[in-house]
Amino acid sequence: MKNLRSALGSGGLLIASLLVCGAAILVAAWFYYHRQRETLDAAAIGQLRAIADFKSEQIANWRRERIAHGHVLAISLLMRSAERLLANQATGSERSDITRIMEQVSHYALYSDISLVDLDGNVVVQLRQDRRAADKAMQPTLRDAARDAVKARDVVLSDLIQVPPSGRPFMLLSVPVGELGAFILEIDPESFLYPYLRTWPVASRTADTILLRRESPTTVLALSPVRGLPGSEMTVRSEVKQPAPDESALAAGWATISTDYQGHSALGVVRKIPDSPWYLSARIDRSEVEAPLAPLGWGMALIAVLIGLANAAGVGLIWRDRELRALREREEWFFSIANDTPAYLWMSAPELDNSFINEPLRKFLGFDGQMLASDWLACVHPDERAAARTSYLENLAAHREFTAEARIRRFDGVYRNIISQGIPRFSPAHQFLGFAGSMVDITEVREAEEDLRSANQALAHELQERTRAEQEVHALSARLIDAQEQERTRLARELHDDLSQQVAALSMGLSHLRRKLQGYSEALGESLRIQDKLSQLAESMRRLSHELHPSVLQHSGLAPALENYCTELAALTSHRIDFRSEGAWDALSPDAALCLYRIAQEALQNSIKHSGVSTAEVALERTGGEVRLIVSDRGIGMDPAATGGLGLVSMKERVRLVNGTIELISRPGQGVTMTAHVPVLAEAATPADVSPL
């Protein structure tokens, strides 16, 4: 006990130093924790600001697009027939023309309903006849919308409104028809507006985007559904506790830290949507943002534990001197047990003329008594003996650790491959005491390495042969794809230059014949049906020629060609295909553009056939020196490991030929996302005399 108190007294300064250092570390860790928290909050605010900017611009573009639809309708020839219809001067064919064009506009632009109303809100023509019963409830709204458009003499896009008894939110696009009425195009926000708000660019469990409208300086109304509150659109109002910033601050994005409707602390950014009465709020729970700080808290606890351990280690250091005095006793104990271990152990003195070996090594070498340096050097193979002696003497003089390999003669005269390792020994006073080491017989290891080397050479040769065969297969596939594209081009040219011209000539001849058949109603009706069939045949031939070789791809570029294809495919299949394009495509090579076009064709056909849903999305993006094509749906999905069809194989081979890559992400029930990556200046990965596409 007395020795312990003495030891503690002499080491008190060390322990006090450790405590001071530990306290300083804890304070620094605490400040670092708060600094990291501020950094995470700032990064989250920046991300929310970017998302709010993107979504607000997206919604503003959507509003401008809808107004542009109205302007196109306002300058169309349909307006003259509409004025005659409102003035009760239209014929039956004009009413049919108006209904047909309304159906086309609703089909291609996906308006939920289109009506022609007079200034009193009376519906003159309505696309959806099944909604006649709701006309009286809608009449005041339609009247106000028509009068606003006529008064403004321009297209008017209404705010989100609700009409009883359904209470569902919708918007109206009003196109004035002279001074008599207006076309009213109804927009369902569930089809266009709300999907923009539900998407989030990164995985998050608490992030939310809400469309707002200020009803008073202190009250805002949620125009879109709020996460966790079904049916909350147009019904949830909240009080603004913080002072509202000016419009310039809202246009740039106003960052907030507040408590949301669930009582959670949340980070948010509110931004004014250009050219609208709306505001966009992007928010995320603060607990999710600061989740990465949890390991830091555990780290601070670990630091406290380590400080305690360091203090304990300080007490241990005080006893180090006593342990060093017992070192020699341990060495003697080592010598006593060294002979009982099966390992080959040895120990040398500072001089070269004596050494110690344990019993297993003595039996391996075939010695009976004390082994001298000359004895173990005599066991080394004659070709390696001089080098072994020189190496050992150099390490002995430098007092450094060494590892050496040599052939040593066993007791039966057979030379074995041995690795010997030695480490220097020092006394507490740092006096060199010699080496302690071990020997390992690695003869079997060297023989296995030689066998492995031979096997590797054989495998390398086989790999070279397989690589050559694979290159031949790739070259053949490139030629096959090139031949396929050439044949498609030839067939498209034949359809367009020969058969299409013949059908056109036949149609003109039939038109001439029809003029001669005036007065023969039965023959004239038959000629009309034949001419309609010829028109359908010409359209089918045009569409087939376009699918075989899209001329718009050569003349207008990849993005217009893909947009045109998506529009035509949607019209033919009654599917909704959303297309978006971001970036410029001038630097994209023709081979790469055709490759991406064919991949989009194949992916959309697969989606229509197998997805089980009527919607798909196509995105064309450019990031730096890469073009990315994304085709996705939310259908039944599939198992990517089970895809063995020729379509996917063909897509992979096409994208490989332009130095690109393709990936397929899908799980059953969760849709399919196919992404192709192609360099902007992609060159075919085939021989110079082979065109890849």
Please say if the pLDDT value at position 691 is more than 50.
Answer: no
Q: In this predicted model, what pLDDT tens digit does every residue of 9-50 receive, in sequence order? A: 545 565 667 667 767 777 777 788 778 888 888 888 888 888
Residues 286 and 271 in one domain: yes
Q: What is the DSSP letter of 659?
A: T
Residues 487 and 534 in one domain: yes
Confidence of residue 175 (pLDDT cuts 50, 70, 90): very high
* C-alpha to C-alpha distance for 629 and 627, rounded to whole angstroms: 7
Do 638 and 530 sit in the same domain of this protein? no
Q: Are residues 111 and 203 both part of a single domain?
A: no
Q: Tell me if 43 is assigned to some domain.
A: no
Residue 684's pLDDT is what?
A: 42
- Tens digits of residue pLDDT in 648-677: 777 888 888 888 898 888 888 788 999 999
Q: Report yes or no: 364 and 344 within 8 Å, Cβ to Cβ.
A: yes
Q: Is 68 domain-assigned?
A: no
State percent of the chain over pLDDT 70: 71
> Averaged over 162-173, what is the pLDDT?
79
CA distance 145 to 665: 46
Residue 483: both structure tokens together:
């031949």
Q: Which of 107, 114, 238, 98 is nearest to 170 (CA)?
A: 114
| Same domain membership, residue 403 and residue 530 | no
Structure-model confidence comparison of residues 576 and 353, the more confident one: 576
What are 506-563's pLDDT values in tens digits?
666 666 666 666 655 565 566 666 666 666 666 666 565 555 556 667 677 888 888 8
Residue 209 to residue 249: CA distance in whole angstroms: 19
Nearest-angstrom CA–CA distance, 518 and 524: 7
Give the count of beta carbons closer than 10 Å to the beta carbon of residue 174: 26
pLDDT band for position 683 (cuts 50, 70, 90)? very low
Element spanning 46, H or E: helix 12-74
Whether 174 has a pLDDT exceeding 90, the answer reads: yes
Q: Is residue 427 situated within a structural domain?
A: yes
pLDDT of residue 403: 87
105: its two tokens: 């506009």
pLDDT in tens, 272-327: 888 888 888 888 888 887 778 777 667 767 776 776 676 666 656 656 666 666 66
Most confident of 206-220, 224-238, 353-367, 608-622: 608-622
CATH, residue 211: 3.30.450
Task: Tell whether the model's pLDDT for residue 184 goes beyond 60.
Answer: yes
Give the integer Cα–Cα distance in Å for 376 and 545. 90
Report CA dihedral (391, 395, 400, 403) to the nearest 10 degrees. Answer: 20
Same domain, 256 and 344: no
- Whether 420 shows a pLDDT value over 70: the answer reads yes
Pair 151, 275 in one domain: no
State yes or no: pLDDT of 413 exceeds 70: yes
**Is the residue at 312 inside a domain?**
no
Compute the distance between CA of residue 385 and CA of residue 409 in angstroms, rounded to an integer: 12
689/568 same-domain check: yes
* Range in 144-158, 257-271, 486-500, 561-575 with the lowest mean pLDDT: 486-500
pLDDT at 622 over 90: no
Residue 667 has phi, psi (to 5 degrees) of: -140, 150
Q: How many domains does the chain have?
A: 5
The reply to whether 423 and 470 lie within a common domain is no
Least confident of 358-367, 384-393, 456-465, 638-647: 638-647
Whole-model pTM?
0.43
Amino acid at 498: D
Q: Is residue 490 part of a domain?
A: yes
Neighbours of 177 (CB within 10 A): 27
Identify whether 331 is part of a domain. Answer: yes
Per-residue model confidence (pLDDT) at position 572: 79
Reported as type and span, the H/E element at residue 239 is strand 237-239
Instruction: Provide the token pair at 609.
Output: 């056939």
Region 82-101: mean pLDDT is 85
pLDDT-derived band at 257 (thresholds 50, 70, 90) equals confident
For position 511, what pLDDT does the model report? 66
pLDDT of residue 331: 62
Is residue 560 located within the same domain as residue 692? yes
Q: How many CB atoms lie within 10 A of CB 97?
A: 17
CB 448 within 8 A of CB 353: no
Which of 240, 269, 291 is where one domain is finished?
Answer: 291
DSSP state of 133: G
DSSP element (H, E) containing 535: helix 521-548
Domain end (from 517, 549, 581): 549
**pLDDT surpassing 60 at residue 498:** no
Same domain for 672 and 590: yes
DSSP state of 352: S
Band the pLDDT of 269: cuts 50, 70, 90.
confident
DSSP 68: H
Spacing of C-alpha 586 from chain mean position: 25
Distance CA 643, CA 640 (A): 5
Task: Specify if 13 maps to a domain.
Answer: no
We report the CATH number of the domain holding residue 373 as 3.30.450.20
Last residue of a domain, one of 184, 219, 236: 184
Same domain, 168 and 269: no
Residue 8's pLDDT is what? 46
Is 1 within a domain?
A: no
Residue 402 sits in which domain range? 327-441
Confidence of residue 690 (pLDDT cuts 50, 70, 90): very low
pLDDT tier for residue 157 given thresholds of 50, 70 and 90:
very high
Q: What are phi and psi of 194, to 5 degrees?
A: -65, -35
